[in-house]
Chain A
Amino acid sequence: MDVAQLKRQLFEYTTLLFHEGFLDEQFTQLQQLQDENNPDFVVEVVSLFFDDSERLLNELAKALDQQNTDFKKVDAHVHQLKGSSSSIGAQRVQRVCITFRNYCQDKNVEGCLKCLQQVKHEYSLVKNKLETLFTLEKQILAAGGSAPM
């Protein structure tokens, strides 16, 4: 595939991610911050998001597995996850976090467990999409194209 085709594919894929609400304008902002001095900025920040999220999802699973749920602790983790996801514009993850926190406030274990599944699902979706996006960008660079910023 030539550079033009790849670029077109990247453009369509990115548009779809925004259209389907996986990403919001915060992600665009991050892309705009990337320049020749920091060519890997977006990938770096997104990797930190992956690390943060995976740690928090593990902590959440552990906390909700306890006999007596410490809702304050659960809420603190969800709060962090909400912050991380909004920092990269992972909108759908962020939305589930809002519902999740409401269940924490109501001390509703069932609701929390349901949200944990949802947030895990949304996280793996967006992770997958972002990785595809980065792969496309790499292919463009490898094909001799410039970074699409």
Chain B
Amino acid sequence: MSKQVAGAASLPSRSVGSGKAEMGDGTGVSSTTAPAKKKLSVLIVDDDLMIRTIHTILVSRVGGEVESQVAENGKVAVDLFRSGKSFDVVLMDWEMPVMNGIEATKELRNMGVSSMIVGVTSHSMDTEKDTFMAAGLDDCYEKPLSIKILKDILQKMKIDA
């Protein structure tokens, strides 16, 4: 199974802006040389409005240029990518109606989506996490996320980039 996408233009690059993309310090970027700084985009996939609300605020409070969008199930998330949207990070719930997080993650990987997909679940057992990870996640955390964990996730993404 290859994650390579066949020449599609939709391959979302993991590289965030250029150079300066530090989270946390909102100090201005020298505007002369840096090309327009790309906002880091996060897709929050969860059927629970409460979690979507909490995670949206979390993302907005993480510091730096981050924007988020929500999807209420896996199908909506997959359709967003199909329509040409791309996100740097996907926060993916497991249990959702219509299409759950495992199905959606597999589908996204099959489509060649290389965004960082992070599972966010209330299943806490390691074996359960392994099942979710096997679908193609980059990482998996218990919900709700904390600001610290979210910062770690975004930090890790930059190192991978």
A residues contacting B by CB (< 8 A) are 26, 29-30, 32-33, 35, 37-38, 41, 44-45, 48-49, 52, 76, 79-80, 82-84, 86-88
Taken together as a complex, chains A and B put the C-alpha atoms of A49 and B48 apart, in Å, by: 10
| 6 cross-chain CB contacts under 8 A | A30-B54, A33-B54, A45-B53, A84-B48, A87-B48, A87-B144
- Known contacts A45-B53, A52-B48; A83 and B143 CB within 8 A of each other: yes
Instruction: For the complex formed, measure the closest distance between the CB of A25 and the CB atoms of chain B, giving whole angstroms.
Output: 9
Tell me the residues in window 79-95 of chain B with beta carbons closer than 8 Å to chain A beta carbons: 95
Interface size class of B (residues with CB under 8 A): 10 to 19
Instruction: For the complex formed, measure the closest distance between the CB of A57 and the CB atoms of chain B, giving whole angstroms.
Output: 15
Residues of A within 8 A of B146 (CB): 29
Taken together as a complex, chains A and B put the C-alpha atoms of A80 and B61 apart, in Å, by: 26
B24-60 interface bits toward A, Cβ cutoff 8 Å, 1 = contact, 0 = none: 0000000000000000000000001111011001101
List 12 other contacts, CB 8 Å, given A45-B53, A76-B95, A87-B143: A29-B146, A30-B54, A33-B54, A33-B57, A79-B122, A82-B122, A83-B48, A83-B143, A86-B122, A86-B144, A87-B48, A87-B54
B147 adjacent to chain A (CB < 8 Å): yes
